Structure 1
Amino acid sequence: MTPQEQARSREERRRDTLARLADDKDSWVATTSPDGQPCLMPLSFAWDGAALLMCTRRTNPTARNLTPRGEVVVTLGHTRDVVHIEGAAEVVEGSALPTGSADAFAAKLRWDPRDRHPWVYLRITPRVVKAWREVNELKDRLIMNDGRWLD
């Protein structure tokens, strides 16, 4: 049996989470339909410093489920290095997304959906963020609450 690493401080978890948001490209996105049917889909993302930007077809369940409620859960990582994000999503037409955000999305993911009519952006603003690796980090996993990073 190997000894467990020491739990990271909240500041270390925040720093690690911000690095993951900047560097990672893929996530799992969970939504529910109006009748309660769950939907879990992998989507690529770009982080603009305040929100995750994703893209999907307007007709896909993920986009349909976000209208009008907009509640979403996004996770990054694997089971031993989790970033769990709860937030509000808005559906944004490609032409309505600010140029700088659309350019950053295209540069990071090497794909530009702005001119593809059936595609829409999802702008997800985190409200709650939790980060943990092992059981010793479960107790203090909350690093953002009500949209504000905790000290």
Structure 2
Amino acid sequence: MTNPEPARSREQRKQDVLDRLEKDNDAWVATASADGQPSLVPLSFVWDAGTLLMATRRTNPTAVNVTPAGQARISLGHTRDVVLIDATAEVVEGADLSGESGDAFATKLNWDLRGRARWVYLRFTPYAVKAWREENELAGRELMADGAWLD
């Protein structure tokens, strides 16, 4: 049994989530194929204009899965500091990526994929965000709904 710290306010949790989105490099990304086959993979990301920008090979299940449904669940943190993000997803070709977004990705992750035909970028736009550490934070874990941060 753990002795949890006092529950954080919604404002503090939101700030903690935004800090993680700026500073973390990797997340778990869950998608499903058209027939429901799940896929869970770690991908590196950059927080770019309110979206998570990631990259993978265009033939990998994650890229293939986002095409028909455009849905994904993304997780940051471990089981005692969870951030769950439900997002719409779109595939972005390197040639279609803005220079600013490409530069942000390459700078943060030291990895520039623009011009590599086998790779695509994935842009995930959050529509729901939940965050909690312990049982005492479950009640207020919803931080975003319908794409808007809650007050």
Shared fold (TM-score, shorter chain, > 0.5) = yes
Give the distance between the partners of 1:95 and 1:52, measured in 2 at CA: 18
Structure 1: state its 5+ residue gaps.
none
| Count of residues in Structure 1 that have an aligned counterpart in Structure 2 | 151
The DSSP-based 3-state class of the residue aligned with 1:31 is strand
Return structure 1 stretches of 4+ with deviation > 6 angstroms. none
CA distance in 2, matches of 1:88, 1:2: 35
Matched, 1:9 2:17: no
Q: Deviations over 1:71-111 (max 9, x none)?
A: 00000000000110001000000010110001000000000
Q: Is the 8 A contact 2:31 2:39 kept in 1?
A: yes
User: For the aligned residues, what is the CA RMSD?
Assistant: 0.9
Write out per-residue CA displacement over residues 35-68 of structure 1, whole angstroms, 9 at most, x where no aligned residue: 1000000000000131000000000000000012
Unaligned runs of 5+ in 2: none
**Separation in structure 2 between the aligned mates of residue 81 and residue 136 of structure 1, nearest angstrom:** 12
Query: Which residue matches 1:20?
Result: 20
SS of the residue 1:131 aligns to:
strand
- Which structure 2 residues correspond to residues 87-126 of structure 1 after superposition, within 5 A? 87-126=87-126
Following superposition, the deviation at residue 2 of structure 1 comes to: 5.5
**Distance between the aligned counterparts of 1:37 and 1:99, measured in 2?**
35
Partner in structure 2 of residue 134 of structure 1 = 134
Give the direction of change, closer, same or farther, for the CA distance of 1:2–1:43 in structure 2 (3 Å limit). closer
| TM-score normalised per structure 1 | 0.98
Residue 41 (1) aligns with residue 41 (2): yes
Distance in 2 between the 1:13 and 1:25 partners? 19
Distance 1:35 1:131 in 2: 30
Residue 15 of structure 1: CA displacement? 0.2
- Taking the aligned partners of 2:131 and 2:9, their CA distance within structure 1 comes to 11
